[in-house]
């Protein structure tokens, strides 16, 4: 909406995808995916490699619709968005035994950053010149993590590795800017979240420590079904024990667009 496109961005796999959707942009995203292909496999969702395969198919459909030259121009001027990483840690490294046997935490961070870098190179080879990457939020501030660690305040250990991982991402993105000549914007989800949690009244929030659904401490996603919810979700930072509310997403989007204007339009 902030960009002036009030319709939803439709999934590429939507059976009712219209030509106008193909012209305005589509989503290849798959909830619970990650930079690590194993993360997607564990959740039975689409890995980035498959999403990029669908992007190739999208390019073909775009060419058929408006011709090769116009199609390339649309893709050249498009903004691609990548937002993932949380599930690589919460639903993979910290739950499953496979990656911890192969990598220390820092080695796994480096592995994920390299996976992201490879994805960016592939996107560039497919004609993408403008990219936005969203960093991971402070995972230690999620109600679920605080509950599991039996802490009332944000868990510093989890926040520290979130921050260090974001630094590794930004380093790889700077390399891509230099070597590939891409315009790349970075959205500091960590800083935005941290400020909202620590200065909740500034944003009109009254609850920053637990989610709106159920107890707000352990339920997330499907486990919220049938649960009672808070009276006004817009006063909460978190919708469930992991995900932000619509109001919080709105704040992230607003600040993201401000930073992207400076980073991509310069």
pLDDT digits (tens, 9 = 90+) for 43-77: 999 999 999 999 999 999 999 999 999 999 999 99
Q: Look-up: residue for tokens 């400076």?
A: 262
Query: Do 140 and 156 touch, CB atoms closer than 8 A?
Result: yes
**Separation of alpha carbons 195 and 248, rounded Å:** 11
Looking at residue 42, what is its pLDDT? 97
219-235 confidence digits (pLDDT tens)? 999 999 999 999 999 99
Contacts of 113 (CB under 8 A, 6+ apart): 35, 165, 168, 169, 171, 172
pTM for this model (two decimals):
0.94
Looking at residue 163, what is its pLDDT? 98
pLDDT level of residue 2 (50, 70, 90 thresholds): confident
- Collect contacts of 2-8 with beta carbons under 8 A, ≥24 apart: 2/253, 2/254, 2/257, 3/257
Stretch among 3-12, 60-69, 85-94 having the lowest mean pLDDT: 3-12
DSSP state for residue 242 in the 8-state scheme: S
């Amino acid at each position: 909406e902030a960009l002036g496109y009030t319709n939803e961005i439709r999934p590429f796999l939507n059976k009712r995808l219209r030509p106008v959707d193909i012209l305005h942009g589509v989503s290849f995203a798959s909830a619970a995916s990650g930079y690590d292909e194993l993360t997607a496999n564990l959740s039975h969702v689409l890995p980035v490699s498959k999403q990029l395969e669908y992007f190739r198919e999208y390019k073909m459909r775009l060419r058929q619709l408006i011709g090769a030259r116009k199609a390339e121009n649309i893709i050249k001027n498009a903004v691609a968005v990548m937002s993932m990483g949380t599930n690589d840690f919460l639903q993979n490294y910290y739950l499953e035994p496979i990656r911890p046997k192969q990598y220390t935490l820092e080695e796994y961070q480096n592995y994920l950053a390299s996976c992201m870098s490879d994805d960016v190179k592939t996107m560039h080879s497919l004609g993408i010149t403008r990219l936005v990457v969203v960093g991971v939020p402070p995972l230690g501030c999620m109600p679920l993590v605080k509950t599991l660690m039996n802490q009332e305040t944000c868990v510093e250990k989890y926040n520290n590795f979130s921050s260090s991982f974001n630094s590794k991402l930004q380093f790889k993105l700077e390399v891509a800017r230099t070597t590939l000549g891409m315009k790349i914007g970075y959205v500091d989800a960590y800083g935005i979240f941290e400020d909202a949690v620590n200065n909740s009244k500034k944003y009109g929030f009254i609850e920053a420590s637990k989610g709106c659904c159920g107890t707000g401490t352990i339920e997330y996603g499907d486990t919220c079904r049938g649960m009672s919810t808070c009276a006004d979700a817009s006063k909460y930072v978190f919708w469930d024990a992991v995900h932000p509310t619509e109001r919080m997403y709105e704040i992230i989007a607003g600040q993201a667009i401000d930073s992207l204007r400076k980073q991509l339009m310069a």
